[in-house]
Amino acid sequence: MHSVVELDSVRKVLDGRSVLDGADLAVYEGQTLVIIGCSGTGKSVTLKHIVGLMEPDEGQVRVFGELISGQHERIKNRIRLKIGLVFQDGALFDFMNVYDNVAFVLREIYSLPEREIRQKVEWALDLVGLAGIEAKMPSELSGGMRKRVAIARAIVYRPSLMLYDEPTAGLDPIRADIIDSLILRLKDEANTTSIVVTHDLNSAYKIADRICMLHEGRFIIDGAPDEIRKTDNPVVRQFIEGRSSGPIRF
């Protein structure tokens, strides 16, 4: 399997605190990797390093075999064209309708003709189960619909790597399950490599090929969902048992 993402001894200090402390990670083509861990352990910081929004104090980050850390913004932008990022809050433009939100990158970065943009936007919205809502504004949508529009915007240019930051946060179990099913569908239909940050263990067990736990700046366990369920690692067990009654939001 080809490595899509590699973190090599990545260290990052923020506000005097070591958030990543020699973190090592490899994610392989076509896999869905889920990162779990308590709040403030550096999960979102890890995603920001992968997409080049943060620079490591030490260590290196490679994406698609190419160094992204320490590179000129022009090189980072070229690599980012193959990455889709779904923020925790969706990060939709409130002043744009759904169509223009999903079309934004196609217009601003790719400068495609409007006919091709429309075809791609309709394809993406249909894939996330939201065909026909192009004229609606974000304020008219439920939280789950906003998440799905954000995913449509991220997949509309068919990236090879998807990064999700708490995609089911704040959603009820039914809507969370819709998002999980969508992540699995993208993997099956497009062989998309995905990295998902979540506190929701039900979601993690459903979508993951591998689950890693970030603790005190390092990944302390890496295994298939069944391995994580059965582990005797005391830190991981405490995390799992604290959430045994269902997803807990922080």
Q: Which tens digit of pLDDT belongs to each residue from 77-106?
A: 999 999 999 987 768 899 999 999 999 989
Picking from 13, 32, 16, the residue whose alpha carbon sits closest to that of residue 162 is 32
Domain assignment present for 124: no
- Whether 178 maps to a domain, the answer reads no
Q: What's the pLDDT tens digit per position in 163-191? A: 999 998 888 888 889 889 989 988 888 78
Strand order in the sheet with 161-165: 83-86, 161-165, 193-197, 32-36, 210-215, 218-223
Residue 117 lies in a domain: no
Please, are residues 10 and 45 in contact by the beta-carbon 8 Å criterion? no
Strand bridging mode 210-215 / 218-223: antiparallel
Q: Tell me, what DSSP letter sits at residue 139? A: G
- Regarding beta strands 66-67 and 58-63, do their DSSP bridges make them parallel or antiparallel, or are they unpaired? antiparallel
CB 166, CB 86: distance < 8 Å: no
Q: What is the DSSP string of 110-133?
A: S---HHHHHHHHHHHHHHTT-TT-
Q: How many C-beta atoms surround the C-beta of residue 158 within 10 A?
A: 13
Asked whether residue 109 is domain-assigned, the answer is no
pLDDT in tens, the chain (250 residues): 789 999 999 999 999 999 999 999 999 999 999 999 988 889 999 999 999 999 999 999 999 999 999 999 999 999 999 999 998 776 889 999 999 999 998 998 888 899 999 999 999 999 888 999 999 999 999 888 998 999 999 999 889 999 999 998 888 888 889 889 989 988 888 788 999 999 889 999 999 999 999 999 999 999 999 999 999 999 999 999 876 544 433 2
CATH number of the structural domain spanning residue 64: 3.40.50.300
- 48 assigned to some structural domain: yes
pTM exceeds 0.85: yes
In which domain, by residue range, is 203 found?
1-82+193-250
Q: Give the chain's domain count.
A: 1
